C-alpha cells in the first residue's frame, strides 16, 4: 500500500500528481466498480456542490451520479445564467459562500486558473471539472483508467491522439497524464490545430512524441486511438474546414488496417468525427468511457472526503 | 393476479398496453397512495435521470417527487439549452452516455418518436414523459386513474373532451387509452382544431365517437368533461380565435345543466379555458389530478424497476 | 419554554412574528449548529420544493443544503424561464399543483405579495424566500442570528445600515426585525436611495432612528455596520452614481476610527461596496453569515414541519 493520502486535497491539475498517486486513484476506481452497481452509504450526509459556470451535462450528471451512488447528495447550478454571477459577484465570494453549504465543490469554469483561484479561497476541497482550455484532470484520469481497463496496462502502448489538439482541454490534460507513463505518443491534427507548444515542450522531455498529419500511416501499429472533436468555428474559413474534415473522420475504411484489439476512445460529445457504423465494432469503447467516468469520480470523491484509504 | 410483468419494460406509447396491463398499473397506483404520504425505501439507491429537452416543470417535478417518495434519487436537466445538445450531440449518444449514470430515464422531447429511438439505444428502461404532438402515455394513465378514482369505474361512462384536439398530445394519448374501455366519447372543438384523422380512424373502430361543436347540447348527459387549452397561436388570425374563445370556456353557466356528479378534468397548466369560479365547485377535480400524477408515476417507476409486482 | 408553535405556519413576513417568537427561532437555530456539521434524519422523507421565479443561487442552495442536512430532499426550479409560467400559468395554479409533490414550499418571486397569495392557496406551508422589494424574512432572521451570535445580544446595540435603503428588500425586512428590539438605528444612504417612508413610519414609533448621510461621523460609536449593494442602474444618470459611489464604499480607512469589535455584515452578493482588503479584518463577518443562513433555514424547516419544538 503506497504512502498516499488524498483527504482534503484539491484536484486542480493532473500535473499535481505523481504516477504513484495516479495509479492509486486508478486502483481505487477499480474497487468502486461493484459499488457503482449496488450503491453504498460511504458518503452519507455529505454534500457535493456542482458549480457549473458553463454547461456540461455529461460531466455534471456524472459527478452527481457518483455522489448519489456513494450515498451522498448534491446541490448546485448548471450554467452561469442562473448564478449570482449575473449580479456581478466574483468567483472568490461565490466559493466563500458555497463552502458553507457543501463538503466539497466541483467547479466548471470558462476561465483558465479558475479552479486554482477557488482552491485558494475555499476551506473545502475543490475538484476541477474543466477550466479554460488547459485543464480537465478528472477526464484525463478517466482516460487513463479506460486505457488500463481495456489494455491491462498503460506502459508500452502506442497511443495516437487525433483531432483538435490546440483548443481541446481534455487532450492537454491527457497528454500531461500520458507523459507520466512509458508510452509512445503520436499527435495527428490539421496544421492550424496542432498541439500547443507549451504542452509539447513539457511532454517531449519525458516520452517519445511524433507529430504526423497522416492517420493512415500510423494506424496499423496503434494500440489506442483517442479521437476528439474538430469544431468548424475554430477554422478561419469554411474552405479550410471542408478540406481537413474528411481526413480526420474515423470510418470503417480507417479501421481496415487497424489492429484487431485497437481501442478507440472519445471524450464525447461527438459530432461526426466518428461515423455511426464504427459504434458497432469491438474497437469502439467510447460509450464505456462514460461508465468509467462514474467510477473514477466516485473514487476521487471518496478519497478526497476521506471515506476510503 | 394477472400474468403481467413490467420489469425492464419501456413506457413509450399507451398503445403498447392491453386493458389488462393498464388496469394492473392503475391497481398498483392505488396501492401507492399511502406510500405517497409516508414515503418508503422501495427504490433506495436507484437513480432516475429526467432528460427534459423541452421544459415541463409539472411533469418533471412529479417524476422527481415520485422517485424521492420511493426512496430513490434524481439527476437530470430541465431544458435543452443546458444540455450537450448545444454542442450538437445526437439523442442516441446522449442516451448511451446517461444509461451509465442512471437506472431509468424519463425523456421529454419536442420530436415525435424520440422516446422510441431512445429505447432502441438504451440498456436501461425509457419512460416517455411527452414527445412530439402524439404521445404522453403517463398523462393518459393519470387521466384514467383519476376517472376511475372519481367514478369508481371507467366502463359505461360518457366522456367529453373539449378544446384543442389537434395539437394537444395529452388528448391523443387519452383517446387511445379510452378506446380500450367501453366508453362513449364526444369530441368538442373548433373546426380548425378537430381531432386528427389518424387518431379518429383508430378509436372509431373500438368505441362510439361523436364530434359535436356545441358543448351545451351534450353537457347534461356527460359524466366526465376533459378540458384542454386552446392556444391563441394555433389560429391563423386573431379574429378566428376571438370567435371561438368564449364558446370553449367553462364557467358556472356551463355547469348549470350539468350532472351533480360531473367530473371536470384538465391536464394543466390552464390559461383561461376554465374560469376561477369553477375551481370551488365539487365538480372541479383538476388539482387532484396532480396528486394522482405522483402515485401513477410512483407505480410506473416501481413496476419498471422491479420493486413491486 | 415559551408557548410557541410553528408547525404548519407560513413564513411570509417578519412582521408576523413577535420578539418572543423570533427569539425562539434564534434559539432553535443555535441548536442546529452541530446538526449542520454532522447531519440528521429529522426530516427524512420530507420534500422541499424550491420555486424560484427569479434566480438567487445563494438563497436556493442555502435552503437545499438545509433540507439535505436534516435528511430531507429537494425538487424545484431555479428561474421562471423553465417553469410552466412560460405557458402563462398563474401562481395560484402552480402552487395548487406543487403542493401535491412537496411537504413545504420555498418561494422566490419578483412580485410584492406573491408569498402571501401562495399561502392563501396552498395546503402545505409556504416560506417566503424573497418577494418584491419589501420582504425577505429568512434573511432578516439570519441577520438577527448573526448579530446575536457575534455580539451575544441584540438589545442595546448601535446598528448602522448603509447603502441602497430604498430598493433593497433585505434591508426592509431587517429594519422591521430590529424595530422589535431595543437598538439604535442609523440609516446611511444617498439622497435618492433613502429608506422608504412607509418603513420609516413604522419603525420610528418603536426605536430611535437617525438618518445620516455621513458614515465617518457615526462609525466610531457603531457596533454593527450592515452594508448593502448600491446598484448603478438605480441612479437616474451616471454622474449622480459616480458622485456617491466612493462615499459608500467601505475600506481600511473607513475602519480606522471604528470600534475594535465592530461587526461588518453584508447580505451578499457584494460588488465593490466593501473592498477586498477588508475581508481579512476581524470585523468582517459577512462570509460567516452564509453558514448562519444554513442553520437558521434548518431551524425554520424543522419548526414548520413539526420535527422540533
Across A154-163, B23-32, C192-201, least confident range: C192-201
Across B68-72, B147-151, C27-31, C108-112, least confident range: C108-112
Distance CA B199, CA A277 (A): 36
**Is the pLDDT confidence value at C82 over 70?**
no
Mean pLDDT of all residues in C222-240: 84
- CATH entry, A137-286, from 3.60.15.10, 3.40.50.1370, 3.20.20.80, 3.40.228.10: 3.40.50.1370
Task: Using the Cα atoms of residue A270, residue A274, residue A279 and residue A285 in order, give the sign of their dihedral.
Answer: negative
Residue A200 Cα to chain centre, angstroms: 18
Contact A100 C291 (CB under 8 A): yes
pLDDT at A89: 67
Residue A245 — very low, low, confident or very high, per pLDDT cuts 50/70/90? confident
Chain B residues within 8 A of A271 when measuring between CB atoms: 87-89
Q: Is A200 exposed, middle or buried (0-12, 13-18, 19+ CB in 10 A)?
A: middle
Report the alpha-carbon angle C118-C93-B146, nearest 5. 130
Phi, psi of A158 (to 5 degrees): -100, 115
DSSP string computed for C191-243: GGGPPPHHHHHHHHTTS-EEE-S-HHHHGGG-SEEEE----GGGSSSHHHHHH
B135 DSSP 8-state letter: B
Across A184-193, A242-251, C44-53, least confident range: A242-251
Mean pLDDT of all residues in C173-186: 97
As given in the structure block, the three cell numbers for residue A11 are: 484536484
Closest-CA residue in chain B for C95?
B287
> HEC string of A77-122?
ECCHHHCHHHHCCCHHHHHHHHCCCCCEEEEEECCCCHHHHHHHHC
B36: closest CA of chain C, how far (Å): 9
As given in the structure block, the three cell numbers for residue A198 are: 507549451
> Which tens digits make up the pLDDT trace of A202-215?
999 999 999 998 89
Omega of the bond leading into B257 within 30 degrees of 0 (cis): no
Residue B87 — very low, low, confident or very high, per pLDDT cuts 50/70/90? low
Give every strand in the sheet of C73-77, ordered side by side: C73-77, C47-52, C104-109, C126-131
Contact B65 C101 (CB under 8 A): yes
Mean pLDDT of all residues in C138-156: 98
Alpha helices, DSSP H, located in C83-168: 91-98, 114-121, 137-151
pLDDT at B227: 96
- Residue B140 CB contacts under 8 Å (≥ 6 apart), including other chains: B14, B170, B173, B174, B176, B177
Q: Please tell me which of the candidates C73, C75, C100 has its beta carbon nearest to residue B290.
A: C100
- Percent of chain A at pLDDT exceeding 90: 77
Residue B257 — very low, low, confident or very high, per pLDDT cuts 50/70/90? very high
**Is the pLDDT confidence value at C101 over 80?**
yes
Residue C3 — very low, low, confident or very high, per pLDDT cuts 50/70/90? low
Neighbours of A161 (CB within 10 A): 25
In the three-class reduction of DSSP (H, G, I as helix; E, B as strand; rest coil), residue A63 is classed as helix
pLDDT at B208: 98
pLDDT at B53: 92
Distance CA C176, CA C15 (A): 7
Distance CA C93, CA C95 (A): 5
Whole-model pTM: value is: 0.95
Mean pLDDT of all residues in A156-175: 93
- CA-based nearest residue to A112, from A154, A67, A54, A72: A54
pLDDT at C136: 93
Distance CA C229, CA C260 (A): 24
Chain C residues within 8 A of A81 when measuring between CB atoms: 55, 79
**Is the pLDDT confidence value at C7 over 80?**
yes
Q: Same CATH topology for A14-136+291-304 and A137-286? A: yes
Residue C265, strand partner residues: C226
- CA-based nearest residue to C133, from C180, C177, C196: C196
Closest-CA residue in chain A for B52?
A57
Q: What rounded mean pLDDT belongs to chain C?
A: 92
Span C14-136+291-304: which CATH code? 3.40.50.1370
pLDDT at C2: 54
User: Quick one: angle between helices C19-38 and C286-304, nearest 10?
Assistant: 100
**Is the pLDDT confidence value at A33 over 70?**
yes
Phi, psi of C63 (to 5 degrees): -60, -45
Across A210-224, B2-16, B294-308, least confident range: B2-16
Residue C81 — very low, low, confident or very high, per pLDDT cuts 50/70/90? low
**Is the pLDDT confidence value at B302 over 80?**
yes
As given in the structure block, the three cell numbers for residue A306 are: 476521506
Contact C62 A101 (CB under 8 A): yes
Q: Is C210 exposed, middle or buried (0-12, 13-18, 19+ CB in 10 A)?
A: exposed
Mean pLDDT of all residues in C125-137: 91
**Is the pLDDT confidence value at A27 over 80?**
yes
This complex has an ipTM of 0.93
Residue A127, strand partner residues: A11, A106
pLDDT at A72: 98
> Which tens digits make up the pLDDT trace of B165-178?
988 888 999 999 99
- CA-based nearest residue to A15, from A150, A128, A166: A128
pLDDT top residue among C135 and A26: A26
Q: What are all long-range contacts of C90-93, with beta carbons under 8 Å and residues at least 24 apart?
A: C91/C117, C91/C118, C92/B276, C92/C117, C92/C118, C92/C120, C92/C121, C93/B268, C93/B269, C93/B270, C93/B287
**Winning range, highest mean pLDDT, from A269-273, B61-65, B245-249:** B61-65
As given in the structure block, the three cell numbers for residue C121 are: 392557496
C1: closest CA of chain A, how far (Å): 30
**Is the pLDDT confidence value at B49 over 70?**
yes
> Which tens digits make up the pLDDT trace of A97-111?
999 999 999 999 988
**Is the pLDDT confidence value at B88 over 70?**
no
pLDDT at B81: 61
C49's enclosing H/E stretch is strand C47-52
Residue C236 — very low, low, confident or very high, per pLDDT cuts 50/70/90? confident
Contact C290 A97 (CB under 8 A): yes
Contact C89 B64 (CB under 8 A): no
As given in the structure block, the three cell numbers for residue B31 are: 396501492
Residue A3 — very low, low, confident or very high, per pLDDT cuts 50/70/90? low
pLDDT at C84: 52
Mean pLDDT of all residues in A286-303: 96
- Percent of chain C at pLDDT exceeding 70: 95
Set C86, C87, C197, C260: catalytic member: C87
B82: closest CA of chain A, how far (Å): 5
Question: Are B4 and B21 within 8 A, CB to CB?
Answer: yes
As given in the structure block, the three cell numbers for residue C303 are: 419548526
Mean pLDDT of all residues in B109-119: 93
pLDDT at A309: 59
Domain spans in chain C, listed from the N-terminal domain onward = 14-136+291-304, 137-286
Amino acid at each position: 500500500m503506497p504512502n498516499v493520502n488524498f483527504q482534503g486535497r484539491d484536484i486542480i491539475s493532473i500535473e499535481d500528481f505523481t504516477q504513484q498517486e495516479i495509479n492509486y486513484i486508478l486502483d481505487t476506481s477499480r474497487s468502486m466498480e461493484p459499488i457503482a452497481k449496488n450503491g453504498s452509504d460511504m458518503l452519507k450526509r455529505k454534500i457535493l456542490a456542482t458549480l457549473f459556470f458553463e454547461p456540461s451535462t455529461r460531466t455534471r450528471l456524472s459527478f452527481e451520479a457518483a455522489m448519489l451512488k456513494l450515498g451522498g447528495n448534491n446541490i448546485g447550478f448548471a450554467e452561469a445564467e442562473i448564478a449570482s454571477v449575473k449580479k456581478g459577484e466574483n468567483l472568490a465570494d461565490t466559493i466563500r459562500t458555497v463552502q458553507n453549504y457543501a463538503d466539497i465543490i466541483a467547479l466548471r469554469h470558462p476561465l483558465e486558473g479558475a479552479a486554482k483561484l477557488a482552491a485558494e479561497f475555499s476551506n473545502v476541497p475543490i475538484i476541477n471539472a474543466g477550466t479554460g482550455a488547459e485543464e480537465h484532470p478528472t477526464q484525463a484520469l478517466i482516460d487513463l483508467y479506460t486505457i488500463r481497463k481495456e489494455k491491462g496496462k498503460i506502459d508500452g502502448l502506442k497511443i495516437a491522439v487525433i483531432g483538435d489538439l490546440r483548443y481541446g482541454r481534455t487532450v492537454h490534460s491527457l497528454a500531461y497524464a500520458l507523459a507520466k507513463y512509458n508510452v509512445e505518443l503520436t499527435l495527428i491534427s490539421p496544421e492550424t490545430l496542432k498541439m500547443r507548444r507549451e504542452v509539447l515542450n513539457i511532454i517531449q522531455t519525458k516520452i517519445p512524441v511524433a507529430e504526423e498529419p497522416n492517420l493512415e500511416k500510423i494506424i496499423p501499429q496503434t494500440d489506442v486511438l483517442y479521437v476528439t472533436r474538430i469544431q468548424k468555428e475554430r477554422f478561419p474559413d469554411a474552405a479550410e474546414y471542408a478540406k481537413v474534415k474528411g481526413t480526420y473522420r474515423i470510418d470503417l475504411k480507417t479501421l481496415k488496417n487497424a489492429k484487431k484489439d485497437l481501442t478507440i476512445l472519445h471524450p464525447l460529445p461527438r459530432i461526426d468525427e466518428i461515423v455511426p457504423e464504427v459504434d458497432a465494432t469491438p474497437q469502439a469503447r467510447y460509450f464505456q468511457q462514460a461508465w468509467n467516468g462514474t467510477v473514477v469520480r466516485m473514487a476521487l470523491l471518496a478519497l478526497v472526503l476521506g471515506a476510503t484509504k
